Structure 1
Amino acid sequence: MDRVKEKEPIREKSSREKMVSGSAWMTGGSILSRLLGALYIIPWMAWMGTQEVANSANALYMIGYTPYALFLNVATAGVPSAIAKQVSYYNALGEYKISQDIYKKGLQVMAVTGIVSALLMYIIAPFIAANSPTASVSDGTQVIRSLSWALLIIPCMSVTRGFIQGHHTMAPSAISQFIEQLGRVVFMLVAVYFIRIVSDGEIVSAVSASTFGAFIGALFSIVYLLYIIWKKKPELEYNLAHSKNNIKVSTNEIFKSIIKTAVPFIIIGSGITLFQMIDQFTFAPIMESVTALTAKQIENNYAIAAGNANKLIMIVISLAGSMAITSVPLIADLLAKNKMKDVRMQLSDSIQLFFFIMLPSAIGMAVVSKPLYTVFYGYSAFGTGILQLSSFMSISLGLFVLLGSTLQAANQTKSALSAMGLGLIVKLVFQYPSLWVFGTYGMLVSNILGFGTTVFLMLWAMYKMTKLNISFLMRRVLLMILITSSMALIVFIFQKGVYLFFEPKDRFGALINIMVSSSMGGFFYFYAALKTRLADRLLGSRVARLRSKLKIK
């Protein structure tokens, strides 16, 4: 009996258990990080000044952050997933020495890419600012350059996250994300308060200080991750001592392996940012030619569509990123063991779990878009409409994030890249006619068409590789759609009821509305998922036990 108890703690979790556990950690970390990244906007915009001044500040902020996100993706986006994939693969083979060498060499590679990316972004900042929808090129340049400092730290931080994820340990990565965001938000709010409220300083100074917060947040995060590596030292040394060492890989081969694996992840990881860069460079000139809007109105509309709504939908899109981060090392591990049937099941589970979480999140956000936008930015019929369409768009963006990473983990990089390339072409082709027909909404319409094309091609590539049971997937997703639609109706009814007692344009009333209607919708979705056994099938025995305790038959 004692002998049995000794073995139980080292029982290897199934892929589904690892997926659910890892996704829970990464989702929790991402949601908390994204919520912080959205909640700060309330005092931030209030301290900036009037709503018009605040929107201009937000537009300036986005003009800096969009190219920064692209440089960040080039420097790091592929690295955590690439390192996690490589480390997980060699750990599965018992080649712990190689996996640790990959981490050390990855640090060297990323230190160089960080320096190069920071210098390049600093140098070409005036060019980016000159081609963006901003009233002042010098202000745009200052903001973009303030972000370049973060690129010196974040690449090495990303390597460390990937190494930890490769050991199927997601908690430290999730916590480090939260620490990074907390450090960034606290710094930027303190800085903006002193610059705008205490010193009555310039808008550009406040925005530049805000964007410099990325450097501060990264600093806190990497210190925490290094502490985790130090704590794992006994385990790493034990693994190293018991490494099989049957495979010999040279330093050059390790460098090539990291770069070869990381580059596709970088390109796919830059997908959303590349779509946003198309908007940043084409929105103003196209809108000037097809509308009678002034430059200030165009800047304001861009701030609402690319900044305000984007901050909120990224909360739900981060859910897909969390699942992608978790699934990459799992799929790499299964491929290393040549378990193709399990790979097919893992891909199917990932897609189902995505829709299970993403559908109620995105559709729910669309239904409560009016009070949600009011709470964060103040009442705006235009802003509400943009957020509604953005919420629906977030489903295709989230699916792109998940499928892009999982296809690469399954060694289907070429299919992923070609799908994204065709999606970008569709985006470019439809950008002008969409803006001409739909105005600012056209920016989102062309995104939906572009990402829709990419997602369809990725799903087709996944089907050809694994022969996924499409009819089974469709039945599961249809059930989720039916439950989500019922949830949306309940949220809508309660929202209308609350509006009988509170003014729609009032921030406090909007907050009460969200709390009441979202709570009722969430309760219904939770109950329906348990009642139909959907949650049992996706989340495992723990949920089944919960359903039993709640006496839901």
Structure 2
Amino acid sequence: MSSNLLKGTMILTIGLLLSRILGVLYIIPFYQLIGEEYIGLYQYAYVPYSIMLALAVSGMPVAVSKFVAKYNTLGDYATGRKLVKSSMVIMTITGVLGFIILYTLAEPIASLVIKDNDAFVTVHNVATVIQYVSFAVIVVPVMSLIRGFFQGYQHMTPTAVSQLIEQIVRVIFVLAGAFLVIKVFKGTENTAVSFAVFAAFIGAIASMFVLYWYWRKLKPEFNELLEESGNTTSDVSLKNIYKEILVYTVPFALVGVINPLFQFVDMITFNSAMTQIGISGKESGVLLGMLNLTTQKLVMIPVMLATGFSMALIPFITSYYAKQDFVQVRRSLDQAFQILLFLTMPAALGIAVLSNEFYHLFYEQSDIGSTVLAHYAPVAILFALYPVTTAILQGIDRQKLIILNLLIGILTKLVLNTPLIKAFETDGAILATSIGYIVAIVLNMVVITKTLQYKSSMVMRRILLIVIINVAMLSLVFVCKWGIEHLFTVDSKFGALLVIFVTASIGAAFYGYVTLRLGLAQKLFGEKITRFTKKFGF
């Protein structure tokens, strides 16, 4: 299991990493094309879109991968095939309905977010970009269904490649469309943003072509497994199939929507709360753009590790839990928590320490932007932990508690957001998000601990060691950064890149050396890294 989990996770992680890098890099030229004020308009479209998408998809990739993995383990390959065939129609209908709902509700949503008389962009501007992005909801549910089917067979490559192609095509359309509108046809920034958000639909179409190619390639393998099982027709009724799928998908529909819902709470409360303490509509719109888009893009880079883990983890946990092999389930949890924090913590805290350089490199020199990023970046650790804990609960059939814990977390954010924003401005929104996530994660861990009798002092010791090493690494990075800034004038994007490259390289080298010397990396990543490190005397 350990090797397969790492392999599957690595494939998804690499694909997600490349996709995430593209998703951050394209913002640099796009930001320069449309400007700081209009970047907020861009994020106004994506928050309600993400919510509708999560509801339309209903956690389908994870639910289908869990369902298919479960029946494949039992040697029943026919039931998974039956599910996919019937679900194609249902997900198509769901996508069309999701599109109609989002398109129709665009103006009411925009009216909740902004007022014409106190903001830089109008209700009509916001409604238009929401309508343009809504077209992608038609395609994505079916696309997600197919990805889930592949993952159920532990084929992670189709998902990773299709995600990467989807992002590449989307980025090209965003930048080309914005450039043509503004530079060639001399159009407005509002029109450029509308074309940019429509790129989500174009990227989804490209991803569908990739998945179709993989389906043609892997279909003989699926057919062979079906024939070898001696059971080419499913004895499970569609009613029972969908009853089981519904149990899986409802929690994951809400899990997938948690981050957009937290952002939506900011969308509908941030501007009004800031206005009440004397901040102008234009300034609060810029700050909200920093919170929900520019810094969010950078903060979410470490989080893709959690996404890869949660997607790859579920089929394995489901399989072992179905066999009542609790020893392997606990080992899977040990490995997942340790590797996740081992990789996520230095990335998140490193971004916080180098926030000024990161914000300058990707966007512009901004004391406010870098401060928001510095305070927001550590929250990435919580963003990473949450999907893994929910994936574990999903794997051990605790769906109802996922919903309860999620709702409590969101309610916590909703109750605290306005008073904390009034008290601490942008930091208040970050603090409310952190508290909401902590509440949800703690509740999830309570369920995991009680259900699996999961108490690992070894994991706690390893986590403490990871924290200590990170503190030492960050201290070294901070000293190196201080030295460079006192020796050289760092006032350009190249200078920011140089500081990031030098300090991150030193930090990574230190982190790698110490964890290898202590044997921590070898214990987490297994035999392959052990064979490699022996050559270098570790």
Range class of TM-score, shorter chain: over 0.9
Q: Is the 8 A contact 1:268 1:405 kept in 2?
A: no
Q: Is the 8 A contact 2:55 2:253 kept in 1?
A: yes
Q: Which residue of 2 aligns with 1:531?
A: 517
Q: Which residue of 2 aligns with 1:272?
A: 259
Give the direction of change, closer, same or farther, for the CA distance of 1:228–1:247 in structure 2 (3 Å limit).
closer
Q: Distance in 2 between matches of 1:327 and 1:68?
A: 27
Q: Distance in 1 between matches of 2:490 and 2:451?
A: 50
Secondary structure of 2:236 counterpart: coil
Mapping of residues 67-86 of structure 1, within 5 Å: 67-86=48-67
Q: Which residue of 1 aligns with 2:42?
A: 61
Q: Which residue of 1 aligns with 2:98?
A: 117
Q: Distance in 1 between matches of 2:509 and 2:186?
A: 46
Mapping of residues 499-538 of structure 1, within 5 Å: 499-538=485-524
Give the direction of change, closer, same or farther, for the CA distance of 1:425–1:484 in structure 2 (3 Å limit).
same
Give the direction of change, closer, same or farther, for the CA distance of 1:399–1:77 in structure 2 (3 Å limit).
farther
Q: Deviations over 1:133-185 (max 9, x none)?
A: 45311111110011111111111110110000111111221111111100100
Secondary structure of 2:113 counterpart: coil
Mapping of residues 402-421 of structure 1, within 5 Å: 402-421=388-407
Q: Deviations over 1:97-148 (max 9, x none)?
A: 0111112122222111101100000000001111114531111111001111
Q: CA deviation at 1:536?
A: 1.2
AA in 2 matched with 1:286: A
Q: Which residue of 1 aligns with 2:410?
A: 424
Q: Which runs of 5+ in 1 are unaligned?
A: 1-14, 49-53
Secondary structure of 1:505 counterpart: coil
Q: CA deviation at 1:197?
A: 1.6
Q: Percent identity?
A: 33
Q: Which residue of 1 aligns with 2:143?
A: 157
1:341 aligns with 2:318: no
Q: Distance in 2 between matches of 1:504 and 1:118?
A: 47
Q: Distance in 2 between matches of 1:107 and 1:257?
A: 17
Q: Is the 8 A contact 2:82 2:234 kept in 1?
A: no
Partner residue of 2:107 out of 114, 126, 132:
126
AA in 2 matched with 1:167: Y
Q: Distance in 1 between matches of 2:490 and 2:110?
A: 37
Q: Is the 8 A contact 2:107 2:124 kept in 1?
A: yes
Q: Is the 8 A contact 1:105 1:255 kept in 2?
A: no
Q: Is the 8 A contact 1:76 1:154 kept in 2?
A: yes
Q: CA deviation at 1:259?
A: 2.4
Q: Distance in 2 between matches of 1:335 and 1:104?
A: 27
AA in 2 matched with 1:91: N
Mapping of residues 228-377 of structure 1, within 5 Å: 228-245=214-231, 248-289=235-276, 291-377=277-363
Q: Is the 8 A contact 1:366 1:388 kept in 2?
A: yes
Secondary structure of 1:500 counterpart: helix
Secondary structure of 1:316 counterpart: coil
Q: Distance in 2 between matches of 1:421 and 1:255?
A: 24
Partner residue of 1:394 out of 372, 380, 395:
380
Q: Is the 8 A contact 1:317 1:395 kept in 2?
A: yes
Q: CA deviation at 1:244?
A: 4.7
Q: Distance in 1 between matches of 2:487 and 2:181?
A: 39
Q: Distance in 1 between matches of 2:149 and 2:503?
A: 41
Q: CA deviation at 1:90?
A: 0.5
Mapping of residues 73-222 of structure 1, within 5 Å: 73-133=54-114, 135-222=121-208
Q: Distance in 1 between matches of 2:415 and 2:517?
A: 46
TM-score, with length taken from structure 1: 0.94
Partner residue of 2:16 out of 13, 21, 30:
30
Q: Distance in 2 between matches of 1:318 and 1:401?
A: 10
Q: Deviations over 1:260-295 (max 9, x none)?
A: 211111111111111111111111112111x11111
Q: Distance in 1 between matches of 2:395 and 2:377?
A: 28
Q: CA deviation at 1:77?
A: 4.8
Q: CA deviation at 1:546?
A: 1.3
Q: Which residue of 2 aligns with 1:453?
A: 439
Q: Distance in 1 between matches of 2:3 and 2:188?
A: 52
Q: Which residue of 2 aligns with 1:465?
A: 451
Q: CA deviation at 1:72?
A: 0.8
Q: Is the 8 A contact 1:125 1:141 kept in 2?
A: yes
Q: Is the 8 A contact 1:95 1:247 kept in 2?
A: yes
Q: Distance in 2 between matches of 1:256 and 1:344?
A: 28
Q: Distance in 2 between matches of 1:463 and 1:86?
A: 24
Q: Is the 8 A contact 2:248 2:399 kept in 1?
A: no
Q: Is the 8 A contact 1:102 1:258 kept in 2?
A: no
Q: Is the 8 A contact 2:477 2:504 kept in 1?
A: yes
Q: Distance in 2 between matches of 1:82 and 1:423?
A: 22
Name whichever of 385-394 and 465-474 sits farther off: 465-474
Q: Which residue of 2 aligns with 1:225?
A: 211
Q: Is the 8 A contact 2:64 2:148 kept in 1?
A: yes
Name whichever of 140-149 and 343-352 sits farther off: 343-352
AA in 2 matched with 1:280: M
Q: Distance in 2 between matches of 1:416 and 1:491?
A: 38
Q: Distance in 2 between matches of 1:381 and 1:470?
A: 42
Q: Is the 8 A contact 1:150 1:214 kept in 2?
A: yes
Q: Distance in 1 between matches of 2:328 and 2:490?
A: 50
